[in-house]
Amino acid sequence: MAAEFFSHGCLFAFQFRHVSSHFRRTDQTRPLRAFCLRCALTNSYGEPTKELNCNHGVLISDQHFDAFLKCRTKAHFTFSSARTSEPSHPISDWQGHIAENYQKNCRDYLRSASAADCFVGTPRPEDLRNGKYPLILQPLITAQDAESHVHALEREAVPTQKGCSPYVPIRFVPFEKISKHYKLMLAFDAFVLWKVSGQMPTKGKIIHGLRHAVLNLRLDTLIHEVQPLVGRLRTLLSESSAPDPVLIKHCPECEFETYCRKRVTEKDDLSLLDSLSIKDRTTLNTKGIFTVTQFAYTFRPRRRPKRLASRKEKYHHALKALAIGLCTRIWINVHSRRLSGKRRIRSWWLPSAVPSAAGNRDRGSPGHDAGAL
C-alpha cells in the first residue's frame, strides 16, 4: 500500500506494510518509511535512500561539489557571496587556465575523431532519453536542485539496457594521473544526468594527459557513493555561517588561503602544525588540547639511553609547537618595541642581525637581556 501528500513543497510518499497480530485477530497497517518523491533515488535493491528532511532551495552545481571534495569551508565560501571580494590566487588562476585550454583541445580532438555531426549546447530532456545526437559538447544539465557543466556526452554504439541512459558522460582532465577526486566529479555529472533524464548512466570516460588517454569507468557504484556526499553538501550550504577554517594540503592553491590562514593564526589552531594529521588533532581535542600553545606545554625533554644513541630521534610534534610559540612571542615583543620607539633592538636571533661578540654581550645575549623579551 502507498499514500501520498504534499508538505512544504515536497511530495512525500509513505510505504505501508501489512502486519498480522498473533494476539488479536485483527489486521493492522503500519507505516514502514517515508521519502520525498521529488528527489528520491533508489539503491541497488530498489529502496528509497532519501529522507524527509530534504532541502530543494539549494541549487548544487559541479563547482560547489568540486570545492566540497577539497574543503568544506571553501564550498561554503564558493556558494555564498560573503567572500567574493577575495583577490585572485596565482596558482588557482594558472590551474584554471590550463584546464580551460585542455578542454578546448579535447573538444577539437573529439570533433576530428567523430564522423557524425556534434551538437553544441544543452539538448532537451526527451532528446537525452532518446539519444538523438551522437555527440554533445558543453551541455549544461540542470535538474531541480542540481546542475553540472558536463564536458561532453557520447552516445553508445551498442543499445543499452532498459532504464539506462544511452549517453556516456566524458570529462577532460589535463593530468596524467587520475585521482578519486576526478572520478567522483564524473559520477556527479552522471548523477545530474540521471535526475534529468530518469535514466542512470552505467559507463563513463575520462580523457586525460598529453596523449588523450581514455579511462573507462563503471559509474553505478560511484553514483551511489556521490549521493550521500550531495546530501552532506546540501546540509552544509543551508547553514548560515561557514565552518571554522582548517589548514590542509589544498590551502597553498586556494584563493581563500589568506583569509583562512589569518583566522587560524588568530585562533592558534592546531592545524598550523602541518605534520599533524586529522586523526592526531581529533585525539588531542578529546584530551582538551585545541591550540598550539596548549600543545607546546605537553613537551617534556627526555634523556635518551645510550643503547638508543645510534637510532634516529623520534619526531616530536609538541617540540615544533613549542618552537612556533617561542618564535611568535619573540617576533611580537621585538617589533612592539621597535614600533614604540623606546629602544631599537637588533637581537642575535633575528635574521636581519649580524652576530658579534660585543653585540651579544651588550645587547640581546640570552644572559643579558633575554628575560626582558
What pLDDT is attached to residue 22? Answer: 38
Structural domain includes residue 145 = yes
Confidence tier at 314 by pLDDT (50, 70, 90): confident
Read off the pLDDT of residues 352-362 as tens digits, 9 standing for 90 and up: 443 444 444 44
Query: Which one is predicted more confidently, 47 or 260?
Result: 260
Looking at residue 270, the DSSP 8-state letter turns out to be G
In the chain, % of residues over pLDDT 90: 35
Confidence tier at 88 by pLDDT (50, 70, 90): confident
270/331 same-domain check: yes
What pLDDT is attached to residue 118? Answer: 86
For 10-127, strand residue ranges (E) read 10-20, 27-36, 119-120
Looking at every residue in the chain, the average pLDDT score rounds to 76
Structural domain includes residue 310 = no
97/50 same-domain check: no
> Residue 152: pLDDT above 70?
yes
> Residue 338: pLDDT above 70?
no
206/227 same-domain check: yes
What pLDDT is attached to residue 29? Answer: 34
Domain that holds residue 111: 62-237
Confidence tier at 336 by pLDDT (50, 70, 90): low
Q: Which of 11, 36, 54 is the last residue of a domain?
A: 54
Long-range CB pairs of 85-91 (<8 Å, 24+ gap) are 86/255, 86/256, 86/258, 86/259, 87/255, 87/258, 88/255, 89/253, 89/254, 89/255, 89/257, 91/252, 91/253
89/229 same-domain check: yes
Give the H/E segment covering residue 216.
strand 213-218
What pLDDT is attached to residue 56? Answer: 52
195/162 same-domain check: yes
Structural domain includes residue 245 = no
Confidence tier at 168 by pLDDT (50, 70, 90): very high
Structural domain includes residue 350 = yes
How are strands ordered across the β-sheet holding 203-208? 119-120, 135-137, 152-155, 167-173, 203-208, 213-218
CB of 233 closer than 8 Å to CB of 68: yes
95/132 same-domain check: yes
Query: Closest Cα partner for 150 from 74, 220, 61?
Result: 61
Residue partners of 251: CB distance under 8 A and separation at least 6: 71, 257, 260, 261
Structural domain includes residue 159 = yes
Q: How confident is the model over 181-200, as a mean pLDDT? A: 94
258/349 same-domain check: yes
Counting the structural domains of the chain, the total is: 3
Q: How confident is the model over 310-334, as a mean pLDDT? A: 73
173/200 same-domain check: yes
> Residue 324: pLDDT above 70?
yes
What pLDDT is attached to residue 227? Answer: 93
Structural domain includes residue 368 = yes
Structural domain includes residue 242 = no
Residue partners of 281: CB distance under 8 A and separation at least 6: 270, 271
What pLDDT is attached to residue 327? Answer: 66
Confidence tier at 149 by pLDDT (50, 70, 90): very high
110/183 same-domain check: yes
334/219 same-domain check: no
- What's the start-to-end Cα distance of the chain, in Å? 78
71/179 same-domain check: yes
Predicted structure pTM score: 0.69
What pLDDT is attached to residue 302? Answer: 75
Q: How confident is the model over 306-314, as a mean pLDDT? A: 76
> Residue 14: pLDDT above 50?
no
Structural domain includes residue 244 = no
